[in-house]
Homo-oligomer: A and B are copies of this chain.
Amino acid sequence: MEDKVIKDLINRYVSVSFKVTKKAESLIKVQIGNDLTNDQHYILRYIYHAKECTSSLLAEEFEVNKSAITAIINRMVDRTLIQRTRDKNDRRVVYLSLTEEGNQLFEKTEERVHCLVESIITKFNAEEIKNFIQTYEKLGDLLVKMSKN
């Protein structure tokens, strides 16, 4: 590729990724904003799929300091969405898991997010969206690799 083409692609990427991120965030917020913040929903999703995990793992996954996770988790423990249980072999570690209430709330909000995403991706033709997601996933893997350096 020539320099000029690359520069153009970069500009388009920067501008579109900003736009999509902002708009997507605010559409999700419309769906779940009365129940959870977007970040809280992401946290619930992570624990839901992991069944159980530690603060340190979340901090790594979300690329923030552990103290930020403590704060978020505290709020959600206060709302009895999440519970803490200490490991019996290594008493330093604390496992986080969803309460029944947290589980239900996650499923409810996730349902709404899925409907939203469905209403969007079904507007594309199948081939196009498959290719798109495939490249998006490659990009994701690449970014994860880069984050580690």
One of B14, B20, B23, B62 near A117 (C-beta < 8 A)? B14
Query: Given the complex of chains A and B, what is the CA–CA distance between A75 and B12 in angstroms?
Result: 29
Docked complex: A90-142 residues within 8 A CB-CB of B = 113-114, 117-118, 120-124, 126, 128-133, 135-140, 142
Check A136/B14 contact, CB under 8 A, given A9-B129, A27-B143, A63-B26: no
| Main secondary structure on A side of the interface with B | helix
One of B10, B17, B117, B140 near A136 (C-beta < 8 A)? B17
A22 interfacial contact with B, CB 8 Å: yes
Find out whether the CB atom of B143 lies under 8 angstroms from the CB atom of A23.
Answer: yes
Find out whether the CB atom of A20 lies under 8 angstroms from the CB atom of B140.
Answer: yes
A89 interfacial contact with B, CB 8 Å: no
A24 to chain B: closest residue by CB: B143
Find out whether the CB atom of A133 lies under 8 angstroms from the CB atom of B12.
Answer: yes
Query: Given the complex of chains A and B, what is the CA–CA distance between A19 and B42 in angstroms?
Result: 10
A122, A131, A142 — which one has the most chain B CB atoms within 10 A of its CB? A142
Residues of B within 8 A of A45 (CB): 18
